[in-house]
A and B are shown apart, each in its own frame.
Chain A
Amino acid sequence: MGWVLPRVFLAATIFGLGACATKPAPNDQLALAEYNEANDPFEPTNRFFYRVNDGIDTYALRPVAVAYRAVVPGAVRRPIHNVLANMSSPVIFANDVIQTRPQRAGTTMMRFLINSTAGVGGLFDVATDLGYPSHDADFGETLALWGVGADPFLFLPVLGPSNPRDLSGFAGNVVLDPLTWASFGGSATLGYSRYVLTAVDTRERNIDLIDSIKKTALDPYATFRSLYRQNRAAEIEKVRADDKTTVPAWFSR
């Protein structure tokens, strides 16, 4: 896939899609407010990549996800999802720690230990029933807690809605993930199958949601843009507010 992206970028530049959205005149206050709220100066380019991704999704990813749902029963899909989630525990833990959220880090650690053992290598999510519910953490969030803003909006080929911060966060996550550096006898098969499976699993879980957005939205691109930004802001706010520290019982005695 490595060489596809530069080519698409090249095509975009050739076709002049590097153009910027026109900023409204400064005397049109309300139009200006709307422009700032959307925060999307690269809208033409972004919309181009939205169409590219939408094409990939319609003709490849969604059909695969629909087939996955039809062929693989839920009783099998769930353990697969659990294994994938368990594999991402170390990178969530790393982010919990550098976000200085000890309680969240402890929860992630317990989840990983319990689900890897009692949960038979992550097949079953026993930890949630034991009072350790799952949460996500990524390096984009970490950067946000460090004060990095979310501007401007980017719609990236393959990766979808993002912004410079979350894109760096994505790279940071790959670096922080121990599985990136693990060598499985020099074979990359496990690494790739994990990414592919994660993509299919995530898409399968969102079939109904995305279908209904595409059906009801008049401008799906603008709707996804708004949802992405709001959802990220809410997630970041959740982490910011969740700064409980737990002192172990034996320590306070």
Chain B
Amino acid sequence: MSLITRRAVLLTSASALLMSAIPLRAWAQADRSAEANRFIAQFGDQLVGIVNADEPLARKRQQMQPLVEQALAVDEIGTFVLGRYWRIATPAQQQRFLRLFHAILVNTITEKLGDFRGVAFRLTQTTMRDGDYLVGTLISRPNQQPNNAQWVVSFQSGRPMIIDVLAEGTSLRLTQRSDYAAFISRNNNNVDALLDALERQAAA
């Protein structure tokens, strides 16, 4: 085969690949969107099942813990939340931060959900933002106004994971980052001050 024909063949196959890649990508996106929905629906069903069960709070929290740990990309959330101080922190400080953040996040979630009764939820609308999927849910409880929550699902790790929750339009990780950043900067930019405060929070 002459050089020219070989090049032509290469070009055609390359463009054929490109052409087929376009609908493929659209297909993959639709597929992922459905997968994100399934993931949240499943996670929600499991959580609601535990929350609504007639069991003591301690038992419920114990059951929720592995579920939450598996669905949440805790390390990614932690890195985001520490923001610009992540880079300032030493590796030891980073390790300590992630350990504390992990405990506090899982604690807060299971504690908050543990108090709920008669929870029902349904999926509303899923949209895409910056490569992540925003799965909308409407959470209702008896005698309470229903709440809108959007679960930000990322496929960065290869499998769907929650990286943020938007409650009535407010991002939980962004709010948390503002809180930590303000605390550190008011403590002379000392990351250890934050770590000590988190240590007290985790122990409480």
Cβ–Cβ contact A231 & B182, under 8 A: no
Given the interface pairs A230-B170, A233-B169, A234-B169, the reply to whether A219 lies near B112 with Cβ below 8 Å is no
Cβ–Cβ contact B171 & A230, under 8 A: yes
Tell me the chain A residues, 212-235 only, with Cβ under 8 Å from chain B. 212, 216-219, 221-223, 225-227, 230-231, 233-235
The number of chain A residues touching the other chain, given as a range, is 20 to 34
Cβ–Cβ contact B170 & A231, under 8 A: yes
B-chain residues with CB within 8 Å of residue A231 when the two chains form the complex: 168-170
Tell me the chain B residues, 61-118 only, with Cβ under 8 Å from chain A. 83-84, 87, 108, 112
Bound together, the chains give a CA A64 to CA B175 distance in angstroms of: 28
Residue in contact with A218 in the complex, picked from B108, B112, B174, B179, CB distance below 8 Å: B179
Bound together, the chains give a CA A38 to CA B84 distance in angstroms of: 14
> Does A34 reach chain B (CB closer than 8 Å)?
yes
> Does A30 reach chain B (CB closer than 8 Å)?
yes
Bound together, the chains give a CA A221 to CA B181 distance in angstroms of: 12
A-chain residues with CB within 8 Å of residue B197 when the two chains form the complex: 218
State the main secondary structure of chain A at its contact with B.
helix
Cβ–Cβ contact A222 & B169, under 8 A: no
Cβ–Cβ contact B181 & A222, under 8 A: yes
Look across to chain A and name the residue whose beta carbon is closest to the beta carbon of B186.
A219
Bound together, the chains give a CA A27 to CA B181 distance in angstroms of: 19
Closest CB-CB distance, A239 to chain B, in whole Å? 12
Cβ–Cβ contact A218 & B178, under 8 A: no
Bound together, the chains give a CA A249 to CA B175 distance in angstroms of: 45
> Does A171 reach chain B (CB closer than 8 Å)?
no
> Does A237 reach chain B (CB closer than 8 Å)?
yes
Cβ–Cβ contact B169 & A218, under 8 A: no
Residue in contact with B179 in the complex, picked from A31, A74, A219, A237, CB distance below 8 Å: A219
> Does B121 reach chain A (CB closer than 8 Å)?
no
State the main secondary structure of chain B at its contact with A.
helix
Given the interface pairs A34-B181, A219-B182, the reply to whether A226 lies near B174 with Cβ below 8 Å is yes
Bound together, the chains give a CA A227 to CA B166 distance in angstroms of: 11
B-chain residues with CB within 8 Å of residue A227 when the two chains form the complex: 170, 175
Closest CB-CB distance, B124 to chain A, in whole Å? 14
Bound together, the chains give a CA A23 to CA B133 distance in angstroms of: 36
Look across to chain A and name the residue whose beta carbon is closest to the beta carbon of B177.
A226
Given the interface pairs A218-B194, A237-B169, the reply to whether A74 lies near B143 with Cβ below 8 Å is yes
B-chain residues with CB within 8 Å of residue A217 when the two chains form the complex: 179
Cβ–Cβ contact B84 & A222, under 8 A: no
Look across to chain B and name the residue whose beta carbon is closest to the beta carbon of A235.
B169
Closest CB-CB distance, B164 to chain A, in whole Å? 12
Closest CB-CB distance, A20 to chain B, in whole Å? 15
Cβ–Cβ contact A223 & B170, under 8 A: no
> Does B183 reach chain A (CB closer than 8 Å)?
yes
20 contacts across the A-B interface (CB closer than 8 A):
A34-B84, A38-B182, A212-B112, A216-B108, A218-B179, A218-B182, A218-B194, A219-B182, A219-B183, A221-B182, A222-B178, A222-B179, A226-B175, A227-B175, A230-B169, A230-B170, A231-B168, A233-B169, A237-B169, A238-B169
Top 7 closest pairs, chain A to chain B, by CB: A234-B169, A222-B182, A226-B178, A30-B84, A219-B182, A230-B170, A218-B183
